[in-house]
Structure 1
Amino acid sequence: MSASGFSFSQPHLREIAADILKYAKKRGASACETDVSEGFGQSVAVRKGEVDTIEYNRDKGIGITVYLGQQRGHASTSDFSKAALKATVDAALSIARFTAPDPCAGLADKALMAKDCPDLDLFHPWDITVDGALDLARECEAAAFGVSPKISNSEGANVSIQQSHFVSANSLGFMGGYASSRQGLSCSVIAGEGEHMQREFWYDSRRDAADLMSAADVGRIAGERALARLGARKIRTCKVPVIFEAPLAVALIGNFVQAVSGGSLYRKSSFLLDSLGQQVFSPIVSIAERPHLKKAFGSGYFDGEGVATHDRDVVIDGVLQGYFLSSYSARKLGMQTTGNAGGSHNLRVSAGEDGLEAMIRNMDKGLLVTELLGHGVNYVTGDYSRGAAGFWVEKGKIKHAVEEVTIAGNLRDMFRNIVAIGNDALPRGAKHCGSILIEQMKVAGR
């Protein structure tokens, strides 16, 4: 696949966006914003060396939001014809006419719109054939089976390719857009037999396929992780230190983002209401937002409203410095947008000097969590309860695998009781955080 796979050029997407804004104004809209996008991809999977699936996807879409004063209407279409565009604008206007005025509705402030458009190096087409992708998937799965004869089965290895581009524009004169790519390798295998089987997986994902882990390494890690889970058992209910392995630590940061995002705050459905300037994390925790990192998944020089993004420190030494706000949620709160319409941008959590092995040694006794089950998070109270699996640690060493336990606490206490952050963050997502050690949590077992 290559850049030529797009059906529409960037200038064509910009022309469509301009036509939408022009027609909306002609039809009486006081303001309008639109997003025009196109994407395509390919995914192949093998299982036990045989082709399991070959999938292609291609999609395009246009979202149009219009305003009649402070009445808002939204409509969307996947038809790029001029007649369909006009009909979609008309539909959005019709919705707006029947919508109650909202004093917080409207475009973001014109002065905040992005003007500079730096190249963030986000688009790296992967020109790989289906046969080439299948060969990579086979290599990945074979590496997992090669770890041990105890790797007894496979749920498959997958190679995925995704490319997309878009243009965002509004009636304040803003127009911007770019292309991006996402490539991935994954493998999931099963160790053991009968009632003692254990499943594990590993994956890597990057903008540029040249930066991916090798297929052999992805498969090997998946196999090693499955093998390590053999002999898993329950443990007695206790209160002990808990390490969240790096891939799961990222989810804790996601819980934090949800709690200090505009929607949760103005609806008063967050345990971190009115927490600006307060100690919400342990003093060892600092979190920075870096929207302009090259090749990163959370990079962008403007947010979903066209507002320019900027580097900022969200948490310094555990103290909350800023929320995640769109223009709408900011108005609801009497504040200014932080350029986070659509979410956060490349959060980087400060790391300590130790890797995971050193953190396990320093913990001495407790639970290393490598898998979470369920969605037991109450953002109103902060109560946290998740099914979990991982490894029991004694005297600084892993003693045996653990399954069928529940870990519980309150996010407010968990954040404040972080005693270590590892230097083992993975570069495969928009949040970058190493393993997290929490001083104590309740572990419910047998």
Structure 2
Amino acid sequence: MDENQLHEAVAAALKAGADAAEAVFAERQSLAIGVREGALEEVEREESRDLGLRVFVGKRQATVSGSDISAEGRCKLIERAVAMARLAPEDPYAGLAPKDRLAKGPLPDLDLYDDAEPSAESLEDQAREAEAAARAIEGVTNSDGGSAAWSTSSWRMVTSDGFYGPHCASAFSLSASAVAGEGSGMERGGEGRSTRHGADLPGAAEIGAEAGRRAVQRLNARKIASTTAPVIFENRLATSLIGPLIGAISGPAIARGTSFLKDRLGQPLFAKGVNITDDPHRVRGLGSSPFDDEGVANRKTALIEDGVLTTWLLNVASAAQLGLETTGHASRGLAGAPGVAPSNLTVEPGDRDLAGLMADAGDGLLITSMFGPSLNGNTGDWSVGCSGFWFEKGEVAYPVTEITVAGNLIDIYGRLVIGSDLELRGASNSPSLLVDSLAIAGR
């Protein structure tokens, strides 16, 4: 669908009885190849084109979506949306974004689209090379496979207030997973990367070799006794510790009063010198976009500045409920009202690398894998299953497994020491993070 057809859909919704309307067209293509033990195992191809419509009748709203974008299909979708809105309960905070907050051209060029479409054969070659490199590492005994994928997506949005915004992006990914050891002593390790441009991906052999090394490093993992000790969260997964912060400062959680940080705005939450930013305009960023999903102009935002919590993450509805203005963090699919999400979240680096953090801590736990997190959203009490390495006198001693770490996030955040080993691997990135003391449950 082009811009004119989206404008026509919005106009048709108004003619059918809507007071305001918003139309979104999303188109996606993807190709994914998987290999295992050197043989082709999976080929997936996807092509989709969908229309989403959100309409308002007074303070009542409804959203619908469908893949039939013919003239007849659009008419049915519009009729259904308006009929649903008339029956919906009133929402005093529902509405389109204020006109003065809408993004205006020219939109920033974020270099998110690579027009080079790889062939299935080239993706298969990459996946094979990654898997072969993983299997070549001494100590690797089997493989969970290698995979390579490519996708493109485009998003066009029109509102009855006159906004039109196009947005397109590509993605290239490559991964491998290896198995080391035998029987009950088997351990797995993996490595994967995703980028907007194919040229930015690390080499397949590099990815595969890292997957193999990480599996072998896990061999002969021990169970340890319960204790209290310093804990370091490796940079690859450290944002998992920051994830609950994002949920706790989201406008909907604050408006509902269900956040453990609901009374902490403008107060110190981390140590002085800690900064966490969100930047939707990072060039080639995996979370980048020129406007948010309500058409609002977005910008780089300091969430934590010198340790202080500076803002909530707000869309139009949650901002209205709190008597504030949207921060440009609306996020939505084609169905359902917008929610809230960050774009490119970054914990800004400190001045100590991982070796320096381990040296500072002396003896403790380096976490390299996490699973099954549990959070009490009202209190901040948090626990997570994990595995990793025990270190002594600042040096890795042996791998450990089947352990749980726990604590209260307000206390944890206040004592975090930020490492310097930041790598921009995804939409959320952090250097390694040290907590000087955490409860560790073992055998």
Does the alignment reach a TM-score above 0.5?
A: yes
Distance 1:75 1:134 in 2: 38
Q: Structure 2: which amino acid aligns with 1:313? A: A
Amino acid at match of 2:125: D
Matching residue within 228, 239, 253 for 1:239? 228
- Name the residue aligned to 2:121: 131
Conserved in 1, the CA contact under 8 Å of 2:154 and 2:168?
yes
2:204 corresponds to 1:215: yes
CA displacement at 1:275 relative to structure 2: 1.6
- One-letter amino acid of the structure 2 residue matched with residue 248 of structure 1: L
Per-residue CA deviation, residues 343-365 of structure 1 (Å, 9 max, x unaligned), is: 11212212012322222222211
Q: Map of 1:419-434 to 2, 5 A cutoff? A: 419=417, 421-434=418-431
Q: Structure 2: how far apart are the matches of 1:61 and 1:378?
A: 37
Secondary structure at the aligned position of 1:314 is classed as: strand
Is 1:146 equivalent to 2:136 in the alignment?
yes
CA distance in 2, matches of 1:214, 1:359: 29
Determine whether 1:442 maps to 2:426.
no
Q: Which residue number in structure 1 is paired with residue 160 of structure 2?
A: 171
Give secondary structure in 2 for the equivalent of 1:352: coil
Letter of the structure 1 residue corresponding to residue 265 of structure 2: L
Cα deviation, residue 132, structure 1: 1.4
Native 8 Å contact 1:13 1:37 kept in 2: no
Gaps of at least 5 residues in structure 2 are 332-340
Q: What's the TM-score once normalised by structure 2's chain length?
A: 0.96
CA offsets 1:329-382 (integer angstroms, 9 cap, x no match): 011111111000011121221201232222222221110001111131222211
- After TM superposition, list the pairs within 5 Å mapping 1:70-149 onto structure 2: 70-116=59-105, 117-148=107-138
Amino acid at match of 1:344: P
Q: State TM-score, norm by structure 1.
A: 0.95
Distance 1:185 1:426 in 2: 17
**What is the aligned residue count?**
433
| Alignment partner, residue 378 of structure 2 | 380
Distance 1:154 1:46 in 2: 10
1:248 Cα shift? 1.3
Q: What secondary structure does 1:376 align onto?
A: strand
Match in the other structure for 1:3: none
Amino acid in structure 1 at the alignment position of 2:72: A
2:286 matched to 1:289?
no
1:23 maps to what in 2? 12
* Deviating more after overlay: 183-192 vs 344-353: 344-353
**Corresponding residue of 1:318:** 307
Post-superposition offset of 1:195: 0.9
Q: Is the 8 A contact 1:13 1:166 kept in 2?
A: no
**What is the CA–CA distance in structure 1 between the aligned matches of 2:63 and 2:288, rounded to whole Å?**
26
Tell me how far apart the structure 2 counterparts of residues 58 and 362 of structure 1 sit (CA, whole Å): 52
Q: Which residue of 2 aligns with 1:349?
A: 347
Quote the residue 1:340 is aligned against: 329
| Matched letter for residue 163 of structure 2 | F
In structure 1, C-alpha distance between the alignment counterparts of 2:9 and 2:128, rounded to whole Å? 47
Paired position in structure 2 for 1:225: 214
Task: State the SS of the aligned residue for 2:389.
Answer: strand
Q: Secondary structure of the residue that 1:389 maps to in structure 2?
A: strand
Q: Give the AA of the match of 1:388.
A: C
Letter of the 2:306 partner, please give it: D
Distance 2:409 2:115 in 1: 40
From 386, 399, 402, the counterpart of 2:400: 402
Do the aligned partners of residues 240 and 284 (structure 1) sit closer, same or farther apart at CA in structure 2, a change above 3 Å counting? Answer: farther
Report if the CA contact (8 A) 2:118-2:150 is conserved: no
State whether structure 2 residue 300 is matched by structure 1 residue 307: no
Cα drift, residue 274 of structure 1: 2.5
Partner Cα distance (2:203, 2:46) in 1: 25
Cα distance in structure 2, aligned partners of 1:131 and 1:311:
40
Residue 360 of structure 1: which of 358, 361, 364 is its match?
A: 358
1:201 to 190, 193, 200: 190
Q: Does 1:262 align with 2:251?
A: yes
Shift of residue 128, structure 1, vs aligned partner:
1.9
Q: Which amino acid aligns with 1:134?
A: E
% identity of equivalent residues: 39
Q: Indicate conservation of the 8 Å contact 1:290/1:346, yes or no.
A: yes
Instruction: State the one-letter code of the partner of 1:104.
Output: Y
Whether contact under 8 Å (2:227, 2:440) holds in the other structure is yes
The separation in 2 between residues aligned to 1:165 and 1:96, in whole angstroms, is 27
Paired letter, 1:114: A
